[in-house]
Structure 1
């Protein structure tokens, strides 16, 4: 994408009555953003869904000053601009009908990584929710996933911090321009995130924090990733909106269950109840449903030095005796609850001693 085309794309993005879906329709029809502004209004009106009022707004001179100011910010602030027709535009997001025509990035973002997950949740996270979030990311660390979230209070910032603690790339999707950080209390994490990930937005630098921007931001969170995980949510909340968007994109959604009486578990429980999300109780669930595999381990000699807990030794011994075994059968044989045995199975898998199989089955290697 040339700078000339970027200028016209910025102008197209600025027009009030033209959203991303319509903008992409016009680009496909006329071949480029520049061609749109140079085309007679009568021809523009011939495009399905484009009326006289919208066509009249396609006057580049009306937006030129704003566009050039934003272009200066992009160049001076080292902002990377991704165009939806370019190869470096995030591939999963490209498949979403309402994905941004332009995406602004700051940092060291690498979205060629196949394993990308979004983690969202309440801003008033409990110790249970944050502990699960931290443990989940720690357990997933050997698979080197990219962790996406909204950089907000609660579960969002917990996910970002846990990703950084485990040396994983993390991406904050912002509901404002990339010339600022909201909330300001999270400014202290900015440098570390920029070193190992970064920030993404489709808002210009003149757009400050506004709750109305969350819906637009949430579609990016859902669209970037293979799966969205909801950790704690009340009956209503932005996390549930993100889950709905992810479902509309045919992406996997997971939710952490809780007691029916827990206010911050009601949203997650409803997602599971209405089959809008898979229940997740450990990293094993995610690995199984997404069909993820660990990177090849070192030769077996490294397994000679693996230290296992008594419980892990018991699980491994039973698997060797039983062969390919369903999770529930293994739990019964080991006389352990299912939620507990999944943790031991994950550790054994990470050490290359056990492999998951379709149908919630496992076998010793």
Structure 2
């Protein structure tokens, strides 16, 4: 097939040509937006799931929907070891200036500027924040040095300003699992207060499956503030649509056998569907594309994934961490008890606890239940067996 016309686009957060199987999440989000604009309570949302299931794609679609609904948007990605107050402040500064340009002089917008000045002045003591805004600080607001209290004051001031301008604000935050416990607690507290005041602010996020537990540890009431939809693999029918519909738009068909083969190999995970479909398209020389083409390209796709998608995570690990991951892989897909992993590893559970904690911190594994451990990356067990054969 014509490689230039290839409709598939595997990548990190790259929007698929057909976003299928997420209709319920999109509709639920639209309802939250409309309720928030009306000043009616609406839970914020944190989408959770493994790597490659389309959380970032969904988050970007949320931003598009909010923009069409008249929201002012801020999309940001947290990073491991990053400074979340600085990241958030960068976007809030822009939002405040946007609100200021929407009309005549507004005392609430000016107050938001002053609280912002107080916030950044207090948190620039470590040298990481350096923002210029030509107003005096709002003394006693956003300048206590307590991140929870100060971020709450800042978010409330932004919400008041947005309400005064008859608009609303969306904060979309990716990779939430990288926030420190203090940062996550502060964010939840700020969301709690803006919700109590019925301010037109919606916060949505995305993170690995441990996010509900992390949020619960940060603030016990988080489950009443957020919905935590689990974004998983696509159902077989939706997975087939994700492959078939983009090809059909180019006048190309897949046989049912080819679609079933792709879905079976990828287990319906969106990123892998895109990878296989992309390579299958480039290999095929006629329509309909049959299962033989899928089988022919599979070794090449696996090699490509092994050298990129999987390898980049594997190379971050120490020798002992790799051995731990290999022990997990020996037990197959799914979650496994710490004792089972220790038996395969050949060590006591207590001695492996630091390794497990390090891998959780790196985002390679997570604990779906107390004492259980699972990979955050789909098909990683198969990769480990290919890379470290016994």
TM-score, normalized by the shorter chain, greater than 0.5: no
Greater RCO structure (CA 8 Å; 6+ sep): 2
Structure with the higher fraction of residues in strand conformation: 1
TM-score, normalising length from structure 2?
A: 0.28
TM-score, normalising length from structure 1?
A: 0.29
Structure with the higher fraction of residues in helix conformation: 2
